[in-house]
Homo-oligomer: A and B are copies of this chain.
Amino acid sequence: MSKRISLALVGIGKIARDQHIPSIAGGEDFELAAAVSRHGKIDGVENFEDFDAFLKARPDVQAVSLCTPPEVRFDMARKAIEARRDVLLEKPPATTLGEAEALAAMASAAGVTLFATWHSRFALGVEPARQWLAGKAIRSVSIVWKEDVRRWHPGQAWIWEAGGFGVFDPGINALSILTAIVPGAIVVHQAALSFPSNRQQPIAASLSMASAAGSPISVELDWRQEGPQTWDITVETDGGELRLSKGGAELYIDGALASSGPDREYPGIYDRFAALVRARQGDADFQPLRLVADAFLRGSRQDVDAFHD
């Protein structure tokens, strides 16, 4: 057994408590050594309110996992890289492509690990889906990602502000799966974005894209879905129909369940982070973020009803 990697968790909010803390505790790769957060605390470790103070006080902590809202993540990641710590970034890795690419360049120059995570890529059906699609001709892809923002993002004001991405915050999860299972670079042809009259970010989006091989890819994102929630990716091929359902947790081939099981997205993230840190490698694929930037750049905007939490 390798020595555990000393890790600080930064930004102790809902995703840290729901996913990061149990995944770190449940694995054998990391030792949680500190927490940094203006509001949250973790019992049993040293807690800091200020990131600079943490970096100064704890040179023994090798790695940081940044779970703050994306707005403040760039500065923290930059400082962590300058202090030679290995860095895990929650998704999205930054609020702009330029920030993301700058971090990757800094990490590479400093020789530290930068892992820009996309948790949905660790959903159970994704890797089998990628393998099943390899070598098949894709005819079309349809993504339907419809959920109730009140249920999944209660009170998260930052998600509606500039840099918060709105419905692309969950939508980028679908795009992270798409870019993992469909080979080649994907291009946005059209985008229609629906902005609530009282909000800075879209509540719904409809994209028309194409794969490198020219296959059409349609994407429907909507945050106004009450009742049953839908996170489905359907791929029509020359060898049958593949469907990833429940955000990638279930894989169906021609309608029959081919793969399912307990959620291991965040444990999978930490397994991969440990392997990257030990191999002194990075993993920073920004294609999902590039697709969102292109959707904003290329998109038409329409005003829709005001949204109230």
Closest B residue, CB atoms, query A95: B298
Stretch at the interface among A25-33, A98-106, A118-126, A263-271: A98-106
Contact A97:B200 (CB < 8 A) given known A195-B301, A301-B195: no
Residue A110 is within 8 A (CB to CB) of chain B in the complex: no
Number of interface residues, chain A, beta carbon within 8 A:
32
| A212/B102 in contact, CB under 8 A | yes
Known A212-B102, A293-B294; judge A299-B97 contact (CB<8 A): no
Query: Known: A101-B185, A185-B105, A187-B99. Contact between A297 and B301, CB under 8 A?
Result: no
**Are A297 and B95 neighbours in the complex by a CB distance under 8 Å?**
yes
Checking B95, B105, B162, B297 against A96 with a beta-carbon cut-off of 8 angstroms, the contacting residue is: B297
Q: Judge whether A272 is part of the interface by a CB distance below 8 angstroms.
A: no
- Which A residues from 178 to 229 make CB contacts under 8 A with B? 185-188, 190-191, 195, 200, 212
- Distance, CA A291 to CA B101, complexed state (A): 12
| Distance between Cα atoms of A57 and B99 in the complex (Å) | 46
A84 at the interface (CB under 8 A from B): no
A290 in contact (CB, < 8 A): yes
Residues of B within 8 A of A200 (CB): 300-301
- Chain B nearest CB from A291 CB (Å) reads 7
Give A276 to B191 CA distance when docked, in angstroms: 35
Encode contact with B along A162-188: 1 for CB under 8 Å, 0 otherwise. 110000000000000000000001111
Q: Residues of B contacting A277 with CB < 8 Å?
A: none
Whole-angstrom CA separation of A300 from B161 in the bound complex: 8
Contact A97 B195 (CB under 8 A): no
Whether the pair B293, A185 counts as a contact (CB closer than 8 A) is no
CA distance A115 to B121 in the complex (A): 36
Complex A-B: 7 CB contacts under 8 Å: A74-B187, A96-B187, A97-B294, A98-B185, A105-B185, A162-B299, A195-B301
Query: Interface of A with B (CB < 8 Å)?
Result: 74, 95-99, 101-102, 105, 161-163, 185-188, 190-191, 195, 200, 212, 290-294, 296-301
Known: A99-B187, A293-B297. 18 other contacts (CB 8 A): A74-B187, A95-B298, A96-B294, A96-B297, A97-B290, A97-B294, A97-B297, A98-B188, A101-B185, A102-B187, A102-B212, A105-B185, A162-B299, A162-B300, A163-B298, A195-B301, A200-B300, A296-B296
